[in-house]
Structure 1
Amino acid sequence: MILWVALLMSLCCLGLLNGAAAGSTGLGRIEQCDTRCSQGLQCKTKPDYLFPPPCQNPAEGLSTSSVFQNVNLSTVMRCEGRQKCSLHLRIKAKLHLNESIHGVSICTVTTGMMSTCRILSFTRASRQRMSGLQVEVENDCTVVSPSQQVKVTVKTVPSYCGITWTGTYEAPKCISGDLQRHVPECITGRLSYDINPQRKELSVSVADMLEDHNYHLRLCHKDFICIGTGANTVIKKEELVKSTTLQYSRPLPCLCIEGWSAVTDAPRVQVCPFKDRLEELWFGITFDPLEGTLSWEPACRVTAAVVLCQEGEDGVCVDLPHASQNVSREKITFTKVDPHPQLCMKFTAGAQSWTRCPFAETRFQAWEVVVTRGQGHQDVKMLSQITATFSVGLCEKSKGSAVCQTTETHTIHVEKNKAVGLNMAGKLCDSCLQVKRLDVEFAATVVHCLQQCNQSSQLRPVISSQSSWSLTWVVVPAGVCLSGIIIVTVVLHVLLTVHQRRKQKRNGGCAFEKQTDPAFDCVVPVLQTKPVLHGGVLVPDSLQYVNAERANLISD
């Protein structure tokens, strides 16, 4: 029983402590601004002099430290409704009262505003009664704005030269939940959202928006400021359901929903649904083949490192030397780059890395190596779509090692679309080739091991599978020539057929005329077993037999 009572008491105490902590986060409330003095000290407020008199020399023993014991500045809130609260600066000063001090003057000044002063004067009877004692005066009638800086000056009345307290105070910012709920200058509304990735939509709802005012919503890209991506959407104050739908194109980490009340200089609130989607930034890599320039520009401000690397068969991308750049917002560029499928960009932000290979899926490749296998040897040729210089070396791999030790290196200059033999016949069996372009600043070093000499192989590419374009110069002309020969043959055959028919008609007409010696006037060969060759084209002999039979019938 005692244990249960102790447990309940501890829970109650914990609840009271939490409630006190929650209440401490809010500002103190006042019903109205006022001036207050210590008990027994009667004071009243009046405006300061328009032209204050010059300061007087203080009596012996008076100084700032001896008069002003402590001056404390704080903020309180005065409300006329749930969302109609204002901030007031509370000035509380403790001083050692002397008969020569008739009151205090409090002045406040803010940036761009004139100084505002007021005098707290003590009655003669009360100051004589409280002389020599520590008294306290307090005033909270100075209205301030959130985040506003105020300079406060406290002097004695009359003003004694050198006896002045000066301090600076900054009002609370709108980040306080108490201000965001009750002070109009800080009310931004609370945004909540749901994401529909299939339709690329954001369903946005607004709560605690400023009463009696419309509300604006939009999508924007957050940088130093939030730059809008389209038109604003307005939620009417009369609408019961404070929600709308916004369309987006890419889920970028800097894409945010921004909302604000439809009042002048209204504070704005932003929520960014995709702030953790850094992988969306590593797109938009461009390459200029004429300049050999590889570029990338981030769509959002990001702190990252970008390096060129070469991707191996194991998927690991090894950094190229002197190929790293740091980026935040500016465009980065790598010049004199060889566009090879194994050349990639690696992006590192924090502890994460992403690799993008811009040439892996493209058909453009500047060069390739073609190997022709003969009887016991292999011939290697370099083919390039641009004029370039290469380092081609023979190397050998040790068992279990990915490193290729170079044994012989050649520098090859290749003209555009002109194959160059490497003159390595008889040396390539069971070896590997290591090729790198030399006339650029950033290039991949490609290693490819050749087939053994006892294996038969046709013409094949070593570096890439795109060698079919080198056979085009042989296949296409041969096809064109063959098509031309067929067309010429058909045309000549048709012409010869027409000629034979006309000749037969002429021979047939001769038989119906009156003949004195048919053997001389119409002579037709009867026995002809071979076809006749006319102009290099063979003509069938069936037509000749038909003409001979007609001639025999006429002779009989």
Structure 2
Amino acid sequence: MHQDQINKGASSPSGYLSHKTQPHLTLSLSLRATKGEKFTDNESQRSRAEGKEVCVLQVKMVLWVALLMSHCYLGLNGAASHSTGLERIEKCGTRCSKGLQCKPKPHNWFPPRCLNPAEGLNHSSVFHNMNLSTVMSCKGRQKCSLHLRIKTTLKLTESIHGVSICTDTAGMMANCQMFRFRRMSTGQLSGLQVEVENDCTDISPGQHMKVRVNTVPSYCGVTWTGTYDAPDCISEDLSRHVPECITGRLSYDVNPQKKELSVSVSDMLDDQDYHLRLCRKDFICIGTGPYTLIKKGEHIKSAILPYSRPLPCLCIEGWSAVMDAPRVQVCPFKHRLEELWFGINFDSLEETLSWEPLCPETAVVVLCQKRGDDVCVDLAHSSQNVSREKITFTKVDPHPHLCMKFTTGHQSWTRCPFVDARFQAWEVVVTRQQGQEDVKMLSQITATFSVGLCVKSEGSTACQITNTHTMHVERHKAVDLNLSGEQCNFCIQVKRLDVKFAATVIHCLEQCNQTSWDLTWVILPAAICLSGIIIFTLALHVLLTVYQRRKQNMNRGCNSEKRTDPASDCVVPVLQTQPALHGGFLIPDSPQCGNTEKANLISD
């Protein structure tokens, strides 16, 4: 029978039958070993093969069970780690250790003075393992309240008859509760440690309080004190179930073409209407438009809010239509800092440049001068820090090269308020007359300038000053800069001196200021010669035209009058003698006549 079982195990698939026949295989091998029977080679090989299969299956099963157990363990741990909810209680109360009877007593608003404790009686010998925590009791999905749970271990003595628990919050009266122990229980448990737990102290989300635990009667120095902070509304459990924390959830879509925000509300209080608005966030969120009310009975809880500019402090604010309701804000454009660097104002009379931030943002503002390579070089002593206040730069020269640079974090933005030259107070005017460049200073105001001659080195933007002088320019009066005798390809550097912040402007002249040929002395003779050639050509054309017409008239007369004599080939016209006569000149015969002799016309 044992041999048959071994044969069945060898002939059957090892994945199932070997696992089923494992006890029988072990038993048969042990019996054969006790009888001293000898195994044949085939049987020993078969048994070793089956033993290997059994070992492999055992290892696989162990690994599979271990994997399954670890998965379940990790799943339980993961569920526990994600469970951030508070403990729920059905009803608050006071609980004491088994065998200790305690019941609440009215608290005395004017307690008597503390008693002197017996020897060895102090707070460390009485109170042990003080524990403060928050629990939640609920009467509905959105009607939960918070309670402070105070749990302590006491070492009872015959002189301790109870416990007094008080909580203090800034600006509020102390909330105290007293619990007395029955004399029978205190006498029986004297010298033992017992537990007392109470969770009937109402607290608010985020409340900070002081906790004081005294003995009854109160002994001087036998007091435990501590502080506790209740969980805030940021907790997921509170924001869904505690009315003081339910603000609703806002989601939005931005339509930049229409400048509209499509806002949807979820998880709001079920039995209340809901307010929506746009506001600018600072210490408080200042409204920028009317409220939009969403009725509690509406199936689709959404609204359209138009906006003017996508400022980083522009937020959507929502709250339930109840007194002192908590509010929620989401800011769709909080990363659009580039929208802040507008609204720069300039007072041309006071020469004052100012800027006021539309949103509270910490930044560094500095005046700079724009170079040709789009790099803005900071002006000395022009840096100001800004957060919410208006900043002002006094005595500023409004030149197109003068700009304002804003820096926050690692980003910078540059704005040039005078780039359109509306406020430009002065300029350098360069004109060319008779081969020379005439340079003048023209100012819209009376001002003082520093004018210097400089030379630029090749491949460098710096200008080496060679000569500098101060120039006073009256309003609307152009002043000529006498640059005669200067070298070729030089520059002039101009800066206004009667202001605090001004740009340094460089004008470079490309040609030499030396006497050269005037183009008029070349153009005028060429024009005269060309006019003479045109007149001569026209006169010649007229003469040739007259000559051709007269010649044609003579040819027509020759063809119309022919001789009757056959010997004569041509008849000289004598009927029109007057037209043929032209100032005493001889008109040759028509080439159509056979006679080659010329007819001489003699004038009268």
| 8 A Cα contact 1:377 1:425, kept in partner | no
Q: Deviations over 1:138-180 (max 9, x none)?
A: 0001111112233322111222222122223222221111111
| 8 A Cα contact 2:488 2:513, kept in partner | no
Matched, 1:344 2:391: no
| 8 A Cα contact 2:399 2:421, kept in partner | no
| 8 A Cα contact 2:348 2:423, kept in partner | no
* Match in the other structure for 1:311: 370
Tell me the amino acid that sits aligned with residue 33 of structure 1: C
| 8 A Cα contact 1:45 1:119, kept in partner | yes
Q: Distance in 2 between matches of 1:288 and 1:245?
A: 39
| 8 A Cα contact 2:206 2:233, kept in partner | yes
User: Alpha-carbon deviation of 1:39?
Assistant: 2.3
Q: Distance in 2 between matches of 1:315 and 1:420?
A: 31
| 8 A Cα contact 1:106 1:118, kept in partner | yes
* Match in the other structure for 1:151: 210
User: Alpha-carbon deviation of 1:8?
Assistant: 4.8
Q: 1:444 aligns with which of 503, 527, 538?
A: 503
User: Alpha-carbon deviation of 1:10?
Assistant: 4.2
Q: Deviations over 1:394-413 (max 9, x none)?
A: 11111111111011112111
RMSD: 2.0
| 8 A Cα contact 1:376 1:426, kept in partner | no
* Match in the other structure for 2:428: 369
Q: 1:384 aligns with which of 431, 443, 466?
A: 443
Q: Deviations over 1:321-351 (max 9, x none)?
A: 1111110011111111111111100000110
| 8 A Cα contact 2:448 2:473, kept in partner | yes
Tell me the amino acid that sits aligned with residue 368 of structure 2: C
Secondary structure of the residue aligned to 1:364 is coil
Correspondences of 1:52-91 after superposition (within 5 Å): 52-91=111-150
Q: Deviations over 1:484-521 (max 9, x none)?
A: xxxxxxxxxxxxxxxxxxxxxxxxxxxxxxxxxxxxxx
* Bigger-Rg structure (1/2): 2
Assess, with a 3 A threshold, how the Cα gap between structure 1 residues 121 and 363 changes in structure 2: closer, same or farther: closer
Assess, with a 3 A threshold, how the Cα gap between structure 1 residues 457 and 117 changes in structure 2: closer, same or farther: farther
Assess, with a 3 A threshold, how the Cα gap between structure 1 residues 53 and 413 changes in structure 2: closer, same or farther: closer
Tell me the amino acid that sits aligned with residue 457 of structure 2: S
Assess, with a 3 A threshold, how the Cα gap between structure 1 residues 70 and 450 changes in structure 2: closer, same or farther: same
Q: 2:328 aligns with which of 266, 269, 284?
A: 269
Tell me the amino acid that sits aligned with residue 119 of structure 2: E
Q: 2:182 aligns with which of 97, 106, 123?
A: 123
| 8 A Cα contact 2:368 2:403, kept in partner | yes
Q: 1:403 aligns with which of 462, 465, 486?
A: 462
Q: Which deviates more from structure 2 when the two are superposed, residues 309-318 or residues 115-124? A: 115-124
Q: Distance in 2 between matches of 1:330 and 1:240?
A: 45
Give the length in aligned residue pairs: 457
| 8 A Cα contact 1:378 1:429, kept in partner | no
* Match in the other structure for 1:179: 238
| 8 A Cα contact 1:376 1:453, kept in partner | no
Q: Distance in 2 between matches of 1:95 and 1:444?
A: 80
Tell me the amino acid that sits aligned with residue 32 of structure 1: K
Q: Distance in 2 between matches of 1:113 and 1:454?
A: 89
Q: Distance in 1 between matches of 2:517 and 2:229?
A: 83
Assess, with a 3 A threshold, how the Cα gap between structure 1 residues 4 and 457 changes in structure 2: closer, same or farther: farther
Q: 1:326 aligns with which of 385, 406, 413?
A: 385
User: Alpha-carbon deviation of 1:110?
Assistant: 3.0
User: Share of identical aligned residues, percent?
Assistant: 74
Q: Which deviates more from structure 2 when the two are superposed, residues 294-303 or residues 366-375? A: 366-375
Assess, with a 3 A threshold, how the Cα gap between structure 1 residues 402 and 136 changes in structure 2: closer, same or farther: same
| 8 A Cα contact 2:436 2:513, kept in partner | no
Q: Distance in 2 between matches of 1:454 and 1:9?
A: 98
Secondary structure of the residue aligned to 1:61 is coil
* Match in the other structure for 2:161: 102
Q: Distance in 1 between matches of 2:369 and 2:119?
A: 85
Q: Distance in 2 between matches of 1:22 and 1:412?
A: 78
Q: 1:199 aligns with which of 254, 258, 268?
A: 258
| 8 A Cα contact 2:360 2:388, kept in partner | yes
Secondary structure of the residue aligned to 2:290 is coil
Q: Distance in 1 between matches of 2:112 and 2:513?
A: 114
User: Alpha-carbon deviation of 1:129?
Assistant: 2.5
Secondary structure of the residue aligned to 2:388 is coil
Q: Distance in 1 between matches of 2:517 and 2:193?
A: 108
| Larger RCO (CA within 8 A; separation ≥ 6) | 1
Q: Deviations over 1:363-408 (max 9, x none)?
A: 3321111233345643321111111111111111111111110111
Unaligned 5+ residue runs, structure 2?
A: 1-59, 519-604
Q: Deviations over 1:226-255 (max 9, x none)?
A: 000011100000001111010000000000
Q: Which has the higher strand share?
A: 1
Q: Distance in 2 between matches of 1:54 and 1:436?
A: 84
Q: Which deviates more from structure 2 when the two are superposed, residues 56-65 or residues 74-83? A: 56-65
Q: Deviations over 1:452-481 (max 9, x none)?
A: 2399999xxxxxxxxxxxxxxxxxxxxxxx
Q: Distance in 2 between matches of 1:457 and 1:107?
A: 107
Tell me the amino acid that sits aligned with residue 352 of structure 1: Q
| 8 A Cα contact 2:260 2:306, kept in partner | yes
* Match in the other structure for 2:78: 18
* Match in the other structure for 1:508: none
**What is the TM-score with the length of structure 2 in the denominator?**
0.73
Q: Distance in 1 between matches of 2:430 and 2:299?
A: 76
| 8 A Cα contact 2:487 2:513, kept in partner | no
Q: Distance in 2 between matches of 1:209 and 1:319?
A: 52
* Match in the other structure for 1:284: 343
* Match in the other structure for 1:43: 102
Tell me the amino acid that sits aligned with residue 443 of structure 2: S
Assess, with a 3 A threshold, how the Cα gap between structure 1 residues 426 and 146 changes in structure 2: closer, same or farther: same
Unaligned 5+ residue runs, structure 1?
A: 459-556
Secondary structure of the residue aligned to 1:336 is coil
